[in-house]
Structure 1
Amino acid sequence: MGDASESDLERAEGFKLQANEAFKAHRFFQAVDLYSQAIELNGLNAVYWANRAFAHTKLEEYGSAVQDATKAIEVDPKYSKGYYRRGAAYLAMGKFKEALKDFQQLKRICPNDPDAAKKLKECEKAVQKIRFEEAIAVDDASRPSVADSIDFHSIDVEPQYAGARIEGDVVTLDFVKKMIDDFRNQKSLHKRYAYQIVLQTRKMLQALPSLVDITVEDGTHFTVCGDVHGQFYDLLNIFELNGLPSDDNPYLFNGDFVDRGSFSLEVILTLFALKCMSPQGIHLARGNHESKSMNKIYGFEGEVRSKLSETFVELFAEVFCCLPLAHVINNKVLVVHGGLFSVDGVKLSDIRAIDRFHEPPEEGLMCELLWSDPQPQPGRGPSKRGVGLSFGGDVTKRFLQENNLDLVVRSHEVKDEGYEIDHDGKLITVFSAPNYCDQMGNKGAFIRFKAPQLKPDIISFSAVPHPDVKPMAYANNFLRMFS
């Protein structure tokens, strides 16, 4: 990146202006592409790097955002936006202590900027809170289960409660339909029944292996959905288009049920109630957002606290640790939330052997299953998210051959059409939250497989209206300051 000529500088500015327009129109992939062209022509302009960092942040590519913001700072150590963008990306990754350093530096560069002061103060509060929580934390293994301390039978239901009721121990279709209808009208479920559903689901999930085998009989079909992310009204639309889950119409929801969308509680209670009603009609896999650290930042914890109680926050965290990590359909199709591994030679038996009953670790097979992403080039590379890795088509092909499989289906990434086919057709990404976060303009999709061929039939759909509650309404204050 030597000295750029006059004409290069002008062309670079042109790309930047186009990129800014794409960004304003929420076309973030295009914005990244255009900023990259500007950087190629003039890599010594800190603004281009910081702007591309911001576009990466919008795409949840926080690892890449940190790299770009760092580059902006190297180019111009006094450029305040470099620290601001990097601090925001660290926050989104839950790296509060790293974020704090950047906001302290921001305050030094802009001592009189009230916004910088406010962000620094919020960041200090968040770090203090984390230090306090770490100081009083009990090791998970030695902590008694909150689920074991709850007796929902002893909770009285007030006579004036007019919502859905479970008679006895059986969750029926009538109950589920009434509950869904109440949720649609923004009414809540009595906490007695919420406890009953969550505890019953926990018991079922606990008994499952980490890798679940699914059999689809010849002539019947099976539907796989990707991330729903608290978009309850779009979930109902999937059921409108494709029928409610049942033994004859089975589904797999492939993780990231909660966070970001502000109807996450309604989504998770609906999925769990359907699981209670029809254990074979709906399968649930863990995503990277079914974890305490994510739920603390991206809204689920705040939403549960606001709509139910602190006890439910702990209970959901326990139940999320029981969710299986992967599913195999008819010994042919592997379905995981994120993707494949940093090492070759991983067998399905290795996935089966994972002890999953804890929060996701920062590395290893469980982490990679939940966090990895495919890349177009062969081999493996660092993750654009800063967790997990990126893996190429050769990695996918080898894994499938070694395990005698045909296809990997995964979710975890927003796609314009709701899906994307990669790695010579050996890998499909499916994402089921259309117009993600009310701003991405993408479609959602689900995949129907019909046995015996199991040829993927992909159906795309658009977003439907929802009540005026913004995404991230319950998220960490701190992150809301940046959205």
Structure 2
Amino acid sequence: MPNRVYLLRGNHESKYCTSVYGFEKEVLTKYGESGKHVYRKCLGCFEGLPLASIIAGKVYTAHGGLFRGTVVTPSKRSKKKNRKVVHNPAVNSLILGSLEELAKARRSVLDPPWEGPNLIPGDILWSDPSMSPGLSPNTERGIGLLWGPDCTEEFLKKFNLKLIIRSHEGPDARDKRSDLEGMDVGYTIDHLVESGKLITLFSAPDYPQFQATEERFRNKGAYIILEPPHFDTPIFHSFCYPPRPKVNPYYDFEDVIDSDEELDLVSMVPDSGVQLPTA
């Protein structure tokens, strides 16, 4: 057994997702008069969770994946005070973010924004890999990025890393994508580049728990063991789902949603009053 457990934040650790997917209702139901207090404490915990980690200087781990950097456009003068910082750059000017920018990002947000100056949390929690080169907006989700194998290579090489391990896409999400492998065994190797690998790891078997159909994916879950001294050679372990007792969900899954792609992310930013970007 491990001596320590480190938790990273996922895209569902937000006020909006915990409300939509039934966590808030479950807490209020189970804890009665103390429910609101317990729920607020949970949200405070989610705000404080790290967005990413570096293991042994060789493995970058995050729920969604990579993130954009801040584009600095210098004026004709070379003085720093005349530089213009662009927070929502055009698609053709998107650049990969740095670990320094990640360290400075403000992670204490209940719902990661999809516009404005603090985009790194949303990118890390909601982004997905792609087989197309470059960085582009993740229009399917309405938040985060898509990044190609060239970006994986650039990130690994620049920061002397060997692996990127992320999650975020279960069998339901991968079933809708033709460019990447399915999640039948609980993991996929999405990018194999000169400097290392990008791995998607999904540890929930027979996902999702509640669906508006009797059809199941029957996927296996998986976990990875990284052994010393280098911690950069993944050992994969897949496992089957155990018999599951019949329980009722704490949200109306038939009328709400079956996947993250159907979320109304405008509601995730309080009083936004704007439409989601389409490009």
TM-score between the two structures when normalised by the length of structure 2 = 0.69
Question: How many angstroms apart in 2 are the aligned matches of 1:344 and 1:379?
Answer: 9
Structure 1 position 358 matched with structure 2 position 109 = yes
Which of 179, 184, 201 aligns to 1:416? It is 184
Q: CA deviation at 1:405?
A: 1.1
Tell me the C-alpha RMSD between the 2 structures. Answer: 1.6
Quick one: which amino acid aligns to residue 411 of structure 1?
Answer: S
Aligned length: 202
Amino acid at match of 2:149: G
Q: Quick check: 1:300 aligned with 2:28?
A: no
Partner of 2:132: 377
Structure 1 residue 335 displacement after superposition: 0.3
> Does residue 286 of the first structure (1) align with residue 9 of the second (2)?
yes
Kept in 2: contact 1:434–1:444 (CA 8 A): yes
Q: Deviations over 1:197-244 (max 9, x none)?
A: xxxxxxxxxxxxxxxxxxxxxxxxxxxxxxxxxxxxxxxxxxxxxxxx
Aligned twin of 2:254: 480
SS at 2:17 equivalent = helix
Structure 2 Cα separation of the partners of residues 339 and 409 of structure 1: 8
CA distance in 1, matches of 2:222, 2:27: 27
Structure 1 residue 313, shift from structure 2 partner: 1.3
Q: For 2:244 and 2:218, how far apart are their aligned partners in 1? A: 15
- The offset of 1:331, in angstroms, is 0.6
Deviation at 1:345, TM superposition (A): 4.5
Query: Aligned residue for 2:82?
Result: none
Paired amino acid for 2:218: G
CA offset at residue 246 of structure 1? 3.0
d(CA) in 2 for partners of 1:450 and 1:366?
Answer: 29
- Whether the 8 Å contact between 1:378 and 1:392 is mirrored in structure 2 is yes
DSSP 3-state at the match of 1:321? helix
Mapped partners of 2:11, 2:2: distance in 1: 26
In the alignment, which of 405, 412, 434 is matched to residue 205 of structure 2?
434
1:62-116, Cα deviation, whole Å (9 max, x unpaired): xxxxxxxxxxxxxxxxxxxxxxxxxxxxxxxxxxxxxxxxxxxxxxxxxxxxxxx
The Cα shift of 1:341 comes to 2.1
Higher strand share: 2
Q: Hey, what does 2:142 align to over in structure 1?
A: 386
Cα distance, 1:406 vs structure 2? 1.2
Whichever structure has more helix as a proportion of its residues is: 1
**Larger RCO: 1 or 2 (CA < 8 Å, sep 6+):** 2
Letter aligned with residue 235 of structure 2: D
Aligned-pair CA distance for 1:453: 3.3
**Alpha-carbon distance in structure 2 between the residues aligned to 1:246 and 1:406:** 23
Q: 1:400 & 1:246 partners in 2: Cα distance?
A: 27
Alignment of 1:203-242 (within 5 A): none
Find 1:468's aligned residue among 246, 269, 273.
246
How far apart, CA to CA, are the structure 1 residues paired with 2:254 and 2:41? 25
Question: Cα offset for 1:376?
Answer: 1.3
TM-score, normalization: structure 1? 0.40
Tell me by how many angstroms 1:349 deviates: 1.7
The one-letter amino acid of 2:63's match is H
Separation in structure 2 between the aligned mates of residue 335 and residue 347 of structure 1, nearest angstrom = 14
Offset from partner CA, 1:418-461 (integer Å, 9 cap, x none): 00001115200000000002432111000000012321001011
Q: Measure, in 2, the Cα distance between the counterparts of 1:440 and 1:299.
A: 22
Shift of 1:401: 1.3
Structure 2 residues not aligned, in runs of 5+: 69-93, 171-182, 210-215, 259-279
Q: Deviations over 1:136-185 (max 9, x none)?
A: xxxxxxxxxxxxxxxxxxxxxxxxxxxxxxxxxxxxxxxxxxxxxxxxxx
Contact 1:345 1:402 in 2 (8 A): no
Distance (Å, rounded) in 1 between the aligned partners of 2:11 and 2:41? 18
**CA displacement at 1:407 relative to structure 2:** 1.2
Segments of structure 1 that go 5 or more residues without pairing to the other structure are 1-244, 248-280
Residue of structure 2 in register with 1:407 after alignment: 163
1:301 is paired with a residue whose SS is helix
Deviation of 1:346 after TM superposition, in Å, equals 1.9
The correspondence for 1:398, drawn from 154, 157, 160, is 154
Give the letter for the 1:379 counterpart.
G
Aligned to 1:47: none
The separation in 2 between residues aligned to 1:436 and 1:282, in whole angstroms, is 24
Structure having the higher Rg: 1
Q: Is 2:66 the partner of 1:340?
A: yes
How far the C-alpha of 1:408 sits from its partner, in A, is 0.6
Q: In 2, Cα distance between the equivalents of 1:382 and 1:346? A: 14
Q: 2:53 aligns with which of 327, 348, 372?
A: 327
Task: Work out the CA distance in 1 between the residues paired with 2:141 and 2:225.
Answer: 29
User: 1:298 & 1:410 partners in 2: Cα distance?
Assistant: 22
What is the identity, as a one-letter code, of the residue corresponding to 1:290?
E
What CA distance in whole angstroms lies between the structure 2 residues aligned with 1:304 and 1:346? 37
- 1:74-93 counterparts in 2 under 5 A? none
Q: Distance in 1 between matches of 2:145 and 2:50?
A: 21
The secondary structure found in structure 1 opposite 2:141 is: coil
Q: Is the 8 A contact 2:58 2:230 kept in 1?
A: no
Mapped contact 2:56–2:230 kept (Cα < 8 A): no
Q: Is the 8 A contact 2:187 2:202 kept in 1?
A: yes
Q: Secondary structure at the match of 2:48?
A: coil
Which structure 2 residues correspond to residues 147-162 of structure 1 after superposition, within 5 A? none
The residue type paired with residue 419 of structure 1 is: Y
Inter-partner Cα distance in structure 1 for 2:96 and 2:186: 31
Q: Counterparts of 2:62 and 2:165 in 1: how far apart (Å)?
A: 7
Whether the 8 Å CA contact 1:417–1:444 is kept in 2: the answer is: yes
